[in-house]
Chain A
Amino acid sequence: MKRAPRRTVCVMPAIRSARVRRALPAVVVASALLVAAAVWAAWPESQAYTTEEQVITVRSGPGGDEPVDLDTTLYLPTDRSGPVPAVLLAHGFGGTKESVRADAQDLAGLGYAVLAYTARGFGRSGGEIHLDSPDYEVRDAQRLLDWLATRPEVSEDADGDPKVGVVGGSYGGGLALMLAAQDQRVDAIVPMITWNDLARSFLPESAGANTVDGVFKKGWAGLFFGGSAGIGTDPICGRFARDVCEMYQRTATTGRATPEAVDLLRRSSPATVLDRIKAPTLLIQGESDTLFPLSEADANARGIAANGTPVRVAWFTGGHDGGQGPRSDRDRVRFLTGQWLDHYVKGEGEAPANSFTWSRVAGFDAMDRGLVTNGYSVDDYPGLSGTATERVPLAGPPQPIANPAGGNPAAISALPGGGDLASAASEVGGLIGDLPGQHAIFQSEPLAQAVDIVGAPTVSIRAASPTGEAVLFVKLYDVDESGAATLPGGIVAPVRLTGLPAEPAQARTVTVTLPAIVRRIEADHRLRVVVATSDQGYATPAEPTLYTVALGGDGITVPTVAGEPIPTTAVLWRWVLAGLIAAVLLGLVVVLLVVRRRQRRADSTIREEYAQTPLVVSRLRKEYADGFVAVSNVDFTVERGQVVGLLGPNGAGKTTTLRVLMGLTQPSGGEIYVFGHRLVPGSPVLSRLGALVEGPGFLPHLSGLDNLKAYWRATGRPEADARLDEAVEIAGLGDSIHRKVRKYSHGMKQRLAIAQAMLGQPELLVLDEPTDGLDPPQIAEMRRVLKRYATDGRAVLVSSHLLAEVEQTCTHAVVVNKGEIVASGPVEEIVGDSPSVRLDVSDVGAAEAVLQRLDGVRSVIGDGANGLVVDINGTARSEVVAELVRAGVGVDRVVPRRRLEDAFLSLVGDNSRGSGDR
């Protein structure tokens, strides 16, 4: 992981050069972005520590003279000024210093010099496994404290006494406790998921019997002792010390412990040395742990607190079966550890509170399918009996149950070390293995209200056995409404009863302390106590026997703790959501207010001089975003009663002008006034305009008539004002008005669009190429309609690229080209006769000579092979023709010319490609 980014950086130039040569800049940019993203994502955070790996040889053993090599890594924080306190970090059983790397980095980040080491018998360290023996492993650790004291980077309490805390989980946790008892230089310890009495852990018994009579936890013992066998030279014992190995072999063979075995395990147990622990202790234990259940931490807590040493207890949902637990748990454990070390080792921060915190599985995370837990806390550690108890009545008759021969088949209650899988499975009730005939059931009625069990419930049973002995497994299930049973933590209470009568009636009552659990039993759920004869995880008698079990009392006592929920970020997120919604609403209100204010302040003044003028366009300019200037400078006026033609070739800027006029686009400069009101997009004065711009626009799924109605409704104006019938008549679509617009021809749509523009008889009608798609009779009809329309003070603006159309329809014309006005004025004036005339003559040279002589001719210009354009000043055309004929020049044609024609035709010829109709 750490090397990956460097590799990526090296690759980048190679990619770049290759791509550049192929001239694919887009690919380069894309890959550069990708590489950058990868580098950014994978770039290691600046390391907060340096590491030193070395093998340290220490001398230990009973005589303190047996050398052993320990593989170590020292993590030193980089930003330290002077010596820093240290943490000795011990790993779990089967691990090495590498398995605690993440924790070491964490602690180094908190400013500690962390010495992680591989315990003897594991990894690259030498020696044999003595199970945290005071003579071996604990003494090794003492020598490491000596070594730490020699390091200049590590601060000291006194000469040879480093400021040091010991942190470790499981095997490492056991070491922390034992070391703190044996070496008073240790300033604080954080033992996690570890044991109090190793003998009791492997030989549990929940009805008060001696440990030597405990039920052998063969599943876990096999993993613990057998898992390391076969490694090294000895295929039986592996790296275990001979005495430990033989103890296990003997016990596993018979399924029963010997006093010697118990003694050996006790030697490796903090239980015997708790009274010597003076280092403040933070005990962290897992709720999903069938190896070292919560009762182990409880025993440690009570034993250490008895000396007056500060002790704090925290439970999380993981453990040897449940792993590290979800993130919320990991964060809490990290916080607690840091706080503990900071105060008791570093000497910073307030003394940690004495409060007890724990968490409870609340369900599944829908997103990552992991467990979700909720944290709780109370002020003082209540132990396993809770702050209160609740008695839940159980019912069930005495039941005969059979011990299977050879202990097989056996119920499966947990998968040792199954991790999240096992815990998830037990959570959903997937690991139920009670076998028929092998278990008795005692069940409660559905609970009236939910019960929060935190601690170890107790239940009394009676048992009878023909052999006088019985090994039983007592477990507590949470049974939901549908009958699905869940075994919290997958944990059971094994009991070995002796001196039992053969007759059930004579059986005495024994109280069984069930394993401590954290579980909320919801209302309407039942509690079910099951007494089984077999369990996969334990060694049971091989003899087939028939027991009888009955309830000893009338129910089960469950401890409860009413804890305060630990606030999580969930609350924060809820506030964020509320804040976001509030901000959005507030933003909306502000925007509305600003808009309204702006509307009120909008220029509502009227230019009095234009108040009666339907349209005044003044110095209009429109430049599009790409820099194209569609209209550079256009001025014109439409007065009441006029039909004004906006004439120009395609791309002259006609449509752009009309777009601005309809409020579809923002002008870049200049103004438009409609009846004296300045026109901007959305101006209310637009309601006095009717328009057809850039072709018709209708809802294709509606009929023509429905389209007109829908359009009028959208204006929000009174229906009577629409004068719908007149519009329909103008459209002249006959019955087709009821057909869907989708089926209309182009001309039909065009007529409907003109009708729509005329709805409500707007005072200014703006039509863009209205005759587009119409046939000649319709064009003629349209001309009449438009002329008639421009009465009663109304006005019409028509755009066209056809001179003839403007000439025949309009009273006034405005000629535009390339975004500028070329000519404007009354049509008669523009289109009327010009003083020039075109003559087709038989002899151009002779004719020219004749014409030059005439007084009334200003200029003569040749036009084609036989043509001449003659500018006559006052002289009658007939006279000119008579002169020519008199001179013997034949005149084929005399064509009077009109002013506009010259200009317009030359424009079109010049500009036939247009500049793109925008």
Chain B
Amino acid sequence: MSTGTIGATAGYRPGRTLTVWQEWRRQATRRRTQFALGFMILLPLIVLVAFQFDTGGDDDNGGGEFASLIDLATSGGLNFTLFTLFVSAGFLLTVVVALFCGDTVASEASWGSLRYLLAVPVPRARLLAVKLVVALGYSAVALILLASTALLLGTLRYGWSPLRSTVAAEIPAGEGLLRLLGILGYLAVGLLVVAGLAFLLSVLTDAPLGAVGGAVLLFILSSILDQITALGSIRSFLPTHYTDAWLGLLSTPVQSDDIVKGCISAVAYATLFWSLAFWRFTRKDVVS
């Protein structure tokens, strides 16, 4: 540490600048953070209320074997949570993660406060690492808040019963909870792609909206391309190809092949994007 402080003023240590906790508090005071996390609590509530309007109509939701997730949503707390995750996984969670990871550096740049942090000086790699850890932390909190609120509300309203799906036999509640945690874990890993992309854009641009929107747009583009079966095996390389692989955790025994591939894809993309972000940020001229 001594080499890092040569020439510094008394009391300055690079390793003490901008700690994770400080960054956590910086972000916690923001409306954006509070709204996003608040919505994670609100969404299960809205869904729950919406289910109260159930008139018993027999709409076909499509989607094959897994469509029944909707029909089974009210069969218990676990299924309600599963449903909530099912409807959020595609878009909502993507947006939330893109928000946390895409806004973090770009917003500091747009406020001008990034200049002053770098002049402290907070070492650039440290600044980025702290920002990344906190953004991922908030993303995880959002995911956990969503799932735990859904589980709590669902269990209070529909009771504690085994996890049901049409692709597998009933899964006992205890194991069902484990499966649910597995699904949460896979969703978290899968969202690393968005986190990586948004974070990279956040470093590349000074416009927070550009970083968040850009990440979401690219994610949607990848999802659209993934629908085009004509692309054949190229699709396996799309970052969104394995987003639905967590459904494999609902069958008995668990189908883990695609989950493993999805993890590989997510980890590889996230590492690539983050490496590019660090490479770029530690070299770029901060001119905003």
Contacts and interface: CB of A to CB of B under 8 A. Distances in A.
B285 A664 contact: yes
A576 B246 CA distance: 19
A687 B29 contact: no
B8 A684 contact: yes
Contact of B115 (A569, A573, A694): A694
A418 interface: no
A664 B9 contact: no
Interface string A651-678: 0000000010011111000000011110
A701 interface: yes
A362 interface: yes
B170 A684 contact: no
B11 to A, nearest CB: 4
A665 B119 CA distance: 11
Contact of A663 (B4, B111, B118, B234): B118
Contact of A573 (B168, B261, B267): B261
B210 interface: no
Contact of A714 (B17, B64, B164, B168): B17
A675 B246 CA distance: 59
A699 B65 contact: no
Nearest to B64: A369
B286 interface: yes
B119 A366 contact: no
B264 A716 contact: no
Contact of B267 (A577, A659, A697): A577
A716 B16 contact: yes
A807 interface: no
A227 interface: no
B89 to A, nearest CB: 12
Contacts of B120: 686-687, 711, 714-715
Interface in B151-184: 162, 164, 166-170
Interface stretch (A11-19, A74-82, A598-606): A598-606
A688 B285 contact: no
Contacts of B242: 367
Q: Which of B8, B9, B123 has the most CB of A within 10 A?
A: B9
B267 A662 contact: no
Interface residues of B, number: 77
Interface residues on A, range: 35 or more
A570 B3 contact: no
A180 B166 CA distance: 47
Contacts of A718: 11
A522 B231 CA distance: 39
Nearest to B166: A428
Contacts of B185: none
Contact of B287 (A424, A711, A918): A918
A822 interface: no
A682 B121 contact: yes
Interface in A349-369: 362-367, 369
Contact of A364 (B65, B114, B123, B286): B65
B111 A688 contact: no
Interface stretch (A49-57, A254-262, A478-486, A774-782): A478-486
Nearest to B256: A570
A481 B251 CA distance: 15
A440 to B, nearest CB: 25
Contact of A576 (B9, B166, B230, B264): B264
A676 B7 CA distance: 8
A364 B116 contact: no
Interface stretch (A139-147, A197-205, A755-763, A905-913): A755-763
A573 B264 contact: yes
Nearest to B114: A697
A110 interface: no
B19 to A, nearest CB: 7
Contacts of B263: 577
A875 interface: no
Centre residue among B7, B17, B25, B261 by max chain A CB count within 10 A:
B7
B285 A684 contact: no
B271 interface: yes
10 contacts: A362-B253, A366-B248, A569-B257, A599-B4, A624-B285, A663-B121, A701-B29, A710-B22, A711-B116, A721-B10
Give the 8 A-B CB pairs with smallest separation, nearest first: A697-B112, A716-B16, A366-B247, A363-B251, A684-B8, A677-B7, A685-B7, A480-B169
Given A366-B258, A573-B264, 8 more contacts: A367-B247, A481-B162, A525-B169, A568-B257, A682-B118, A689-B119, A693-B119, A711-B116
Interface of B: 3-19, 22, 25-26, 29-31, 64-66, 111-125, 162, 164, 166-170, 230-232, 234, 242, 244-248, 250-253, 255-258, 260-261, 263-264, 267-268, 271, 283, 285-287
